[in-house]
Amino acid sequence: MRTVVITGAASGIGRALAERLRNEGDRVITVDLHDADVTVDLSTAEGRSALVEQVAELSGGTIDAVVANAGLIRPEPVTVAVNYFGAIATLEGLRPLLERSSAPRAVLTTSLAAVMDVYEDLVESCLAGDEEEALAIAEKYSGGENIGNNLYASTKAAEARWVRLNAPNPEWAGAGIALNAVGPGIVETPMVADSIADDASRASTA
Ligand SMILES: NC(=O)c1ccc[n+]([C@@H]2O[C@H](COP(=O)([O-])OP(=O)(O)OC[C@H]3O[C@@H](n4cnc5c(N)ncnc54)[C@H](O)[C@@H]3O)[C@@H](O)[C@H]2O)c1
């Protein structure tokens, strides 16, 4: 039986994946703001530390897979804190537990939005690991018509680039841990309910 950690597992894609893996016989440790085995806020340093501590305790110290999936699409800095820094902290924080598995796997849910227009300065500060600067840049771009999607797309592009940059490294491939990203198109979940609510919204999203 494999032990799989899924963040953002109280809703949408994460919840569906948790159900599927449980049905297939895996042990799933769910992580979310609510309704999860590990209830933490991945936008904060405290929440990210608590994630690692609690998963270590619940799993007994070894996990076989991590799905860094928690995310949101609000045109505010918190989207950068959760989507990029929360996801990277999840992967890096749980990596030592993965290393003990005989067949470890890690995956990050990025998005088709990664190929859309992005704020390059925001993407660069994410990849530099400078959360303070990234949040300040995100604050600058917050609000305003149609700006939210560029902010979201920037977090998803940064995630995708982080995976490409890191997957071949000694810590991941070198340690036998396959690190991948998936980039879904539109999936009908609460996250996108507003953007596919009517024909006009669907047309502008397509
Ligand atoms: N739905 C789509 O069309 C779509 C397309 C491409 C990529 N994605 C990505 O898939 C992932 C899952 O999205 P979804 O559509 O299932 O959304 P969703 O809103 O249904 O689920 C996201 C989950 O993340 C959790 N979350 C948000 N902030 C958090 C925080 N601070 N700490 C811990 N958990 C937090 C939420 O509580 C929620 O349960 C996201 O990363 C999203 O960007 C979604």
Superfamily of domain 3-185: NAD(P)-binding Rossmann-like Domain (3.40.50.720)
- For residue 8, the SS3 value is coil
Smallest Cα–Cα separation from 82: which of 40, 118, 121, 116?
40
Strands 65-68 and 38-39: unpaired
Q: What are the tens digits of pLDDT across the range 15-53?
A: 999 999 999 999 999 999 999 999 999 999 999 999 999
What is the residue whose two structure tokens read 């149609």? 146
Token readout for 174 is: 């070198």
Query: Domain map of the chain by residue range?
Result: 3-185
Contact 72, 52 (CB under 8 A): no
For the question of residue 84 being annotated catalytic, the response is no
Contact 50, 94 (CB under 8 A): no
Q: What are the tens digits of pLDDT across the range 106-151?
A: 999 999 999 999 999 999 999 999 999 999 999 999 876 555 579 9
Residues with CB under 6 A from ligand 1: 8, 10-14, 32-33, 41-43, 69-72, 82, 109, 111, 184, 186-187, 189-192
What pTM did the predictor assign? 0.95
